Chains A and B, each alone.
Chain A
């Protein structure tokens, strides 16, 4: 059973470009979470999605950031018009169900560098 898959592992963008980060949850998992990790800091929650629905986006910036988890295919975190402050590691996690009785399994992350 493959774990959470993320691609690309490394992404370099120039200021103003778009970044698309992909996450395929573990088999059988329908709950996906995105977290951002700035250098030397802990992970910060961004958004929680369940198939085709955004459940909680309280941690996501209001502008330039969007997320989706379509019926078919991976979850996508999209950052438009990237700025240098977007440089970070973005981690996706998945769980079988929601709530504290269900472990969140993390992917290897996508390291975004904005030049």
Chain B
């Protein structure tokens, strides 16, 4: 089955700096890669996603890149703000699938 690895497990940055979180996946059949933000005591919220037919997608301060050959994808947050502090999860899904396979999560701390 699919296996998703996520790094780093914790990340601390100064407000205004950029943050990068990386994930690798094992199953070449996966073609949908969402990123979720989870705040304390809440469920995961989708912040951005990318499909395998594109290499990069951007939404304001958030961008995601995908390298299908290397089977890895990354989340980039620019101009970080304290409210960006949360746990971020990457995930992968196959074309004909229905379940998301999640990475282990990254706890991002943005220091004011």
Measured CB to CB, the residues of A under 8 A from B are: 4, 6, 31, 33, 35, 40-45, 48, 55-56, 58-59, 91, 98-101, 103-109
Would you call B44 and A100 a contact (CB within 8 A)? no
* A26 to B98 CA separation, bound complex (whole angstroms): 17
Q: Which residues of B contact A107 (CB under 8 A)?
A: 43
With A31-B98, A41-B105, A45-B100 given, name 11 new contacts (CB 8 A): A4-B43, A41-B104, A43-B100, A55-B98, A56-B99, A91-B43, A98-B98, A100-B93, A100-B95, A105-B46, A106-B36
Would you call B95 and A99 a contact (CB within 8 A)? yes
- What is the total of A-B residue contacts with beta carbons within 8 Å? 65
Would you call A100 and B32 a contact (CB within 8 A)? yes
Would you call B6 and A100 a contact (CB within 8 A)? no
Given known pairs A91-B44, A100-B93, the reply for A33 and B105 (CB within 8 Å) is no
Given known pairs A103-B46, A108-B43, the reply for A43 and B89 (CB within 8 Å) is yes
Closest-CB distance, A74 to chain B (whole angstroms)? 16
Would you call A45 and B101 a contact (CB within 8 A)? yes
